Structure 1
Amino acid sequence: MPGKLGKTAWHTPTLSAASHELDPYLPASGNLGYRVSRYDLDLIYKVNSNRLSGTVTVTASSYQHLDRFSLDLASGMRVERVTVNGRRARYTHRSGKLTITPGTAIPTGGALMVEVRYGGSPRPIRTTWGTVGWEELEDGSLCANQPNGAHSWFPCDDHPEAKAPFRIEITTDSPYYALANGRLISKRRRAAQTTWVYEQVEPMATYLAAIQIGQYERRTMSDGPVPVHALVPPQLNSEFDVSFGRQPQMVSAFTEMFGPYPFPEYTSLITEDELEIPLESQGFSTFGANHCDGTRDHERLVAHELAHQWFGNSVTAARWRDIWLHEGFACYAEWLWSQHSGGKSADEWARHYYAKLAASPVRTPLADPGAPEMFEDWVYKRGAMTLHALRLRIGDGDFFALIRRWTEKYAYRCVTTEDFIALASTFTKAPLGDIWQDWLFTPALPPFPSMR
């Protein structure tokens, strides 16, 4: 285990590259020609009718001459008005694309302020990986956007590299708690409705943006250096104390291992509904009632979602092919927490899952698993095994120093596998090429790693 960290300067939010390419795994998501610098969402949601309406303002700059440009927005949402830099603009809306023609072309390097007034009944989008996006609950709603469901409920550049700060204002029925990304900066009740305003200062990928609405009680689990909160249905309070009670210790342990927690606070939310899997969002995670059963049987998932705040939410893969940089790291965090909390060691878990990987050979490399495979369990486990192999090669001191440098150097930015390989090479004189070739670029499972 790594030693304690000294004081570290707070990171300054850094936007990603000025432009980006479309992702071959999701070629229909994302847009070219401009770079978003901010989203402002001003929304109203009626729970009983599942009706969402409002205005979204997208602030951006062009990196090429634009006679027209597009945003992603699900066809089920109805656009009422579009303005560009304060002037009405023509638009078409079909096949999930809102294509906008401004009255005056935007020059290269020009400023864009696009205001979209729209409304409708948001529905999840069907994808290769199931449905993603806005979902109704029995009494409320949630957003499960990964990888490209954000445009089910707001117009955006739905691409993981297109990170930007957000302001989210959501007005909903007063009995309900509305949670969104960032700090809650104001809350005002008027008649039967309450308006919640959140500021997400650190740049965020659209798939991590979320509004979760339900009848929850807010609890503070820790008001230490990293405040830890929870939103829990009242009837699950006692079960929550057991299933999620060790989250403050988990935050402390991961801060020591991975570096400073990258956001102002952390919240776990438990829905009254059962969920197949938990969901990570920037600054909080969402779990189903089935994950809050009064046991610690699901604590590995609690660790996994928390670890995503570093790996995926702050440090974000620029390409979906590099999903192991999210899921492999979060899976390895499960094993690290197990060892830290007195359970099986990381090496024991590595041997356990190595046997499972050996029993189910795959035909694609971890560094490019293919779109249909990118959320398969083998990607998670082989990603964690890759990190374990690296740790055994370079030793605990250099390994954890590398991880802390990774989260510091690329905080709030986007990365690739090549970035990690390059950074790792600076933490050891030992050759690492065989590790990357065997674990990342060759489909066949190599022998279980050993120390050198």
Structure 2
Amino acid sequence: MAVQQTAGPDPYFPANGDPRYRVHRYELALDYRPGPNRLSGTARINAIAGRAALTEFQLNLADFKIGRVKVDGRAPHYTHRGGKLRIRPAKAVRAGAAFTVEVQWSGNPKPVNSPWGGLGWEELVDGALVASQPVGAPSWYPCNDRPADKAAYQISITTPSAYQVVAGGRLLTRTTKASTTTWVYEQSAPTSSYLVGLSIGKYQTVLLGDPGLGGVPQHGHIPAHLLPEFSRDFARQPQMMELFQELFGPYPFGEYAVVVTEEELDVPVEAQGLSLFGANHVDGARGSERLVAHELAHQWFGNSVSLADWRHIWLNEGFAKYAEWLWSERSGGPTAQQLAGSAHRLLSSLPQDLVLADPGRKLMFDDRLYQRGGLVLHAVRCAMGDDAFFRMLRGWG
């Protein structure tokens, strides 16, 4: 779902993104070598100027070496410092006109600093992953890093052939040449920059459920030694998909993949058409099943229907929290009413200093925001009744 651009910088991250233009499509051609953690890439970015002519504009990109920049085939003047690639075209881009930016970059990717630790590209013991929410995307590619600027993506990435590349979207081709393999993924649905997911590792791929009869193709990519635990922990994901399509409407993308890494992650990572879990989220006892439901629900709430800016993060997390409760209710666990009561008792004992609709950057991932968001939705459900409430959810997108 396309979101209308907001008029100014994001109130929480004013240094990220440029509202003077919007991107239509990114084409990323990447080469990654896990051993030396070396990334090189070329981006072709198709964009459209806003209501005013562009005499200069910016992309967000971390501290890489820049090899080349072009705007509509011509070399511009540019500077690159502080995570910003400022570009002044040789000729101003007319208001409302389409233009193309090409950027070549290379270096050793690393997370960008944030109040929550490193975000974005994370080098693993044997591979890599991307966990960008909210502002980690520039750690690995140049982008207009604002959640409302959604674009289509094609990602081509070459790695040593021992590794598998998993990205959101449809795998178009996989081509092996000598000791390397190139994977090409297409995500045609408009995607926010932070929701471009990527994982590079050594996995075994399994099919989850039966995609026949109009079902959604669902695949898991797991280290082989974790497959027995994964098979139990994610066994009910196809039923979650069926339930959420009943309650929220058709799944908004073409396919859905989950990856389990060899290493532990503090929290799972949602991306468009893809979720990443740590080895600590797989125990063979369904100990993290609520998180499986939570990340799946983000495909509707957060990914398909996206934020205009980060003040509204509760609309992502409150809906996903409530989806956990709905799954529990439908799968024989505590009802949403019981879980809402537990959340209310918990929150009543905690500080009341969080404004749900504008929590501030410091509190935007506070657990109270998740719980209170779920409570708001449960209150609306109780006031409207189930028929009207779920009709509203199905029309949300």
**TM-score, length-scaled by structure 1:** 0.86
1:268-287 aligned within 5 A: 268-287=258-277
1:362 corresponds to which of 344, 352, 363 = 352
Greater shift, 44-53 or 20-29, is seen at 20-29
SS of 2:208's equivalent in the other structure is strand
Task: State how far apart, in whole Å, the 1-side matches of 2:47 and 2:28 are.
Answer: 15
Offset, 1:364: 3.0
Offset, 1:15: 3.2
2:147 corresponds to which of 160, 170, 178 = 160
Q: Is the 8 A contact 1:257 1:404 kept in 2?
A: yes
SS of 1:115's equivalent in the other structure is strand
Partner amino acid for 1:194?
T
2:311 corresponds to which of 296, 317, 321 = 321
Task: State how far apart, in whole Å, the 2-side matches of 1:338 and 1:243 are.
Answer: 15
SS of 1:218's equivalent in the other structure is strand
Offset, 1:361: 2.4
Q: What does residue 67 of structure 1 align with?
A: 55
Offset, 1:401: 0.5
Q: Is the 8 A contact 1:129 1:372 kept in 2?
A: no
Task: Work out whether 1:375 is the aligned partner of 2:365.
Answer: yes
1:185-334 aligned within 5 A: 185-222=172-209, 223-224=211-212, 225-334=215-324
Q: What does residue 119 of structure 2 align with?
A: 132
Task: State how far apart, in whole Å, the 1-side matches of 2:43 and 2:145 are.
Answer: 14
Q: What does residue 32 of structure 1 align with?
A: 19
Offset, 1:362: 2.0
1:400 corresponds to which of 369, 390, 395 = 390
Q: Is the 8 A contact 2:233 2:283 kept in 1?
A: yes
Task: State how far apart, in whole Å, the 1-side matches of 2:7 and 2:146 are.
Answer: 9
Q: What does residue 67 of structure 2 align with?
A: 80
Offset, 1:61: 1.1
Q: What does residue 424 of structure 1 align with?
A: none
1:113 corresponds to which of 71, 93, 100 = 100
Q: Is the 8 A contact 1:32 1:69 kept in 2?
A: no
Task: State how far apart, in whole Å, the 2-side matches of 1:397 and 1:178 are.
Answer: 42
Partner amino acid for 1:15?
A
Task: State how far apart, in whole Å, the 1-side matches of 2:185 and 2:8 are.
Answer: 30
Q: Is the 8 A contact 1:83 1:115 kept in 2?
A: yes
Structure 1 residues 317 and 101: CA distance shift in structure 2, 3 A: same
Offset, 1:365: 1.6
Q: Is the 8 A contact 2:252 2:300 kept in 1?
A: yes
Offset, 1:19: 6.2
Aligned length: 393
SS of 2:396's equivalent in the other structure is helix
SS of 2:359's equivalent in the other structure is coil
Q: Is the 8 A contact 1:244 1:299 kept in 2?
A: yes
Q: What does residue 98 of structure 1 align with?
A: 85
Q: What does residue 386 of structure 1 align with?
A: 376
SS of 1:318's equivalent in the other structure is coil
Q: What does residue 439 of structure 1 align with?
A: none
SS of 1:87's equivalent in the other structure is coil
Partner amino acid for 1:71?
L
1:179 corresponds to which of 141, 160, 166 = 166
Offset, 1:266: 0.9
Q: CA RMSD in A?
A: 1.0
Structure 1 residues 170 and 315: CA distance shift in structure 2, 3 A: same
Offset, 1:22: 1.1
Gaps of 5+ in 1: 1-13, 408-452
Greater shift, 267-276 or 15-24, is seen at 15-24
Task: State how far apart, in whole Å, the 2-side matches of 1:55 and 1:161 are.
Answer: 24
Partner amino acid for 1:190?
K
Q: Is the 8 A contact 2:168 2:257 kept in 1?
A: no
Q: What does residue 145 of structure 1 align with?
A: 132
Q: Which runs of 4+ in 1 moved over 6 A?
A: none
Task: Work out whether 1:58 is the aligned partner of 2:45.
Answer: yes
Greater shift, 258-267 or 30-39, is seen at 30-39
Deviations 1:339-398 (A, max 9, x none): 111010011100011100000022132111111000000000000000000011111111
Give the % identical residues.
51
Q: What does residue 32 of structure 2 align with?
A: 45
Offset, 1:193: 0.5
Q: Is the 8 A contact 1:141 1:212 kept in 2?
A: yes
Deviations 1:139-189 (A, max 9, x none): 100000000000011000000000011011111110111011210011100
Task: State how far apart, in whole Å, the 1-side matches of 2:266 and 2:354 are.
Answer: 26
